């Protein structure tokens, strides 16, 4: 029971006792006045004889009995009701299983645990999207600036509502925030955004970003360090990269509706022993790499031991290929076995199949969300967590002319039909809800 609840109960008890004292004083005052009047009457009417005196004594006794009875009625009304009210309140407000953790801000800070308030006490709504890019040298950001810079020029109002209304919304931050550094030698595409453009994350309703990708290190170590500083300065949680391996691999956890949800993020890309994007090491900044998945699987298992739900957001797959590749298939099975409750993928720049590994839902690729000038299908994935479990819904959208909009009607049906046609063991209904394919 919290201190504020105890204060409210104490105040309520004081109010009731004050009422009891006030009523008691009123009763005593009225009774005393009555007795005084009767006594005065007795002195002036003494000559009426013993018979009158006897009657007055009987009346006085009746008055006192009436007072006593009224006081007992008030006591019975106030004091038991007080106990019943407190008992009912305690039953209605059970103690949080994470109450102790919530009262330890230092532990929450060091372990990257964030307290969130859900819009509903009955469910937690999460949303996930794919790649975004804020580099002003590339089409989407350049066009946004030409159009005046309002976030509504990047996303339709109805899509923004879906993003902002989620209790927790996550995207892949596919670039560093920096004005320093040099582009990595020999890399075909290198991105960076001005640190002040990170404010768009807040306007979009973003609650956490993944840095586990192949562009977070595009302008060298300084670009990644500037990114971490920029995000921390605006209190934006991130996963998948860090100043050393310990930070890079650490999940972020959210405490919401008395449920603890961990998000682990890692990248397979680039798939070589000497990638352009440096993997974090014990004493070096970098991203959390999982081409060798051993460390990722350990982190998932550790997160599962401390959290109610574990979500893995992973950078994998083959660019511009709708079908999943062998490395996705291989790691999906291992990730599920390690303890993941949901797997969300990005990187291929296009939508890929949905399905299950055992009972674990997998969305293999969300595609570009707001990344380039190409016209292509994308999606927002809405995840609802209730006492009944996890439901996954794919909400079709389309990136076109450097703006992403929500799809409805025939276009929405087209995207859902397409996803179903390429998926092996998952199927979306007319509203995009995922279930296991039965035949």
Cα–Cα distance list, 431 to 311, 371, 407, 408 (Å): 23, 25, 12, 10
For residue 2, what pLDDT is reported?
A: 40
The pLDDT assigned to 335 comes to 98
Would you state the pLDDT for residue 96? Answer: 85
CATH assignment of 100-436, among 3.40.50.720, 3.60.21.10, 3.90.1150.10, 3.30.70.141: 3.60.21.10
First to last CA, the chain: 51
Other beta carbons within 10 Å of 169: 23
CA distance 346 to 368: 8
Please check the confidence at residue 89 and state whether its pLDDT lies above 80. Answer: no
Neighbours of 184 (CB within 10 A): 16
Phi, psi of 226, rounded to the nearest 5 degrees = -65, -35
CB of 171 within 8 A of CB of 206? Answer: yes
DSSP string computed for 62-75: HHHHHHHHHHHHHH
DSSP state, residue 180? -
More confident residue, 55 or 233: 233
pLDDT at 84 over 80: no
Q: What is the DSSP string of 233-295?
A: HTT--EESEESSHHHHH--EEEEETTEEEEEEEEE--S-SSS-SSPBPBTTB-EE-B-SSTHH
* pLDDT classification of 77: cutoffs 50, 70, 90: very low
Name the more confident of 341 and 68.
341
**Sign of the alpha-carbon torsion through 161, 166, 171, 176:** positive
393: pLDDT strictly greater than 60: yes
Q: Where along the chain do its domains lie?
A: 3-92, 100-436
DSSP state of 198: G
Report the C-alpha gap between 146 and 226 in whole angstroms: 26
Q: What is the pLDDT of residues 168-217, one digit of tens each?
A: 999 999 999 999 999 999 999 999 999 999 999 999 999 999 999 999 99
Q: Which helix (H) or strand (E) holds 61?
A: helix 50-92
Bigger pLDDT: 144 vs 36: 144
Question: Mean pLDDT throughout 424-438?
Answer: 97
Cβ atoms of 397 and 406 closer than 8 Å: yes
Nearest-angstrom CA–CA distance, 252 and 257: 16
Task: Look at the block and give the residue holding tokens 């300065």.
Answer: 233
For residue 60, what are its two tokens? 């006085």
Each residue's pLDDT tens digit, 239-252? 999 999 999 999 99
Residue 220, pLDDT score: 97
Give dist(CA 345, CA 235) in Å, integer.
Answer: 25
pLDDT at position 273:
79
281-311: pLDDT as tens digits = 999 999 999 999 999 999 999 999 999 999 9
Residue 75: pLDDT band with limits 50, 70, 90: very low
Task: Identify the burial level of 249 via C-beta atoms within 10 angstroms of its C-beta, where 0-12 means exposed, 13-18 middle and 19 or more buried.
Answer: buried
pLDDT at 112 over 50: yes
Confidence of residue 121 (pLDDT cuts 50, 70, 90): very high
DSSP state of 324: -
Mean pLDDT (whole number) for 322-341: 98
Q: Are 127 and 382 in contact (CB under 8 A)?
A: yes
Q: What is the mean pLDDT of residues 69-95?
A: 50
């Amino acid at each position: 029971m919290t201190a504020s609840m105890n204060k409210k109960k104490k105040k309520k008890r004081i109010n009731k006792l004050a009422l009891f004292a006030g009523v008691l004083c009123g009763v005593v005052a009225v009774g005393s006045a009555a007795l005084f009047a009767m006594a005065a009457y007795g002195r002036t009417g003494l000559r009426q004889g013993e018979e009158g005196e006897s009657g007055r004594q009987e009346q006085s006794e009746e008055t006192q009995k009436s007072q006593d009875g009224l006081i007992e009625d008030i006591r019975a009304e106030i004091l038991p009701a007080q106990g019943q009210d407190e008992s009912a309140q305690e039953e209605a407000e059970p103690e949080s299983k994470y109450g102790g953790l919530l009262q330890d801000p230092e532990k929450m800070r060091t372990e990257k645990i964030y307290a969130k308030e859900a819009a509903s006490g009955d469910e937690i709504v999460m949303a996930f999207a794919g790649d975004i890019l804020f580099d002003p040298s590339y089409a989407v950001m350049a066009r946004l600036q030409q159009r005046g810079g309002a976030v509504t020029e990047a996303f339709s109002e109805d899509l923004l509502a879906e993003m902002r209304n989620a209790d927790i919304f996550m995207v892949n931050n596919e670039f560093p925030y920096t004005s320093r550094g040099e582009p990595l030698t020999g890399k075909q595409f290198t991105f960076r955004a001005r640190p002040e453009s990170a404010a768009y994350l807040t306007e979009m309703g973003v609650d956490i970003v993944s840095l586990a990708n192949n562009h977070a290190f595009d302008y060298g170590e300084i670009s990644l360090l500037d990114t971490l500083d920029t995000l921390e300065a605006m209190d934006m949680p991130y996963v998948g990269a860090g100043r050393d391996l310990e930070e890079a691999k650490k999940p972020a956890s959210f405490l919401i509706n008395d449920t603890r949800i961990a998000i682990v993020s890692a990248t397979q890309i680039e798939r070589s022993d000497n990638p352009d994007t440096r993997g974090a090491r014990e004493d070096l900044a970098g991203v959390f790499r999982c081409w060798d998945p051993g460390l990722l699987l350990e982190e998932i298992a550790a997160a599962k031991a401390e959290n109610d739900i574990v979500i893995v957001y992973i950078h994998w797959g083959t660019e511009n290929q709708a079908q999943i590749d062998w490395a996705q298939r291989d790691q999906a099975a291992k990730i599920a076995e390690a303890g993941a409750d949901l797997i969300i993928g990005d990187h291929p720049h296009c939508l890929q199949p949905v399905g299950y590994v055992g009972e674990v839902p997998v969305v293999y690729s969300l595609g570009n969300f707001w990344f380039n000038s190409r016209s292509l299908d994308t999606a927002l994935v809405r995840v609802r967590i209730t006492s009944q479990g996890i439901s996954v819904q794919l909400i079709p959208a389309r990136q076109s002319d450097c703006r992403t909009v929500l799809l409805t009607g025939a276009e929405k049906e087209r995207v859902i039909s397409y996803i179903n046609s390429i998926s092996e063991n998952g199927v979306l209904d007319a509203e995009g809800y995922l279930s296991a394919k039965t035949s």
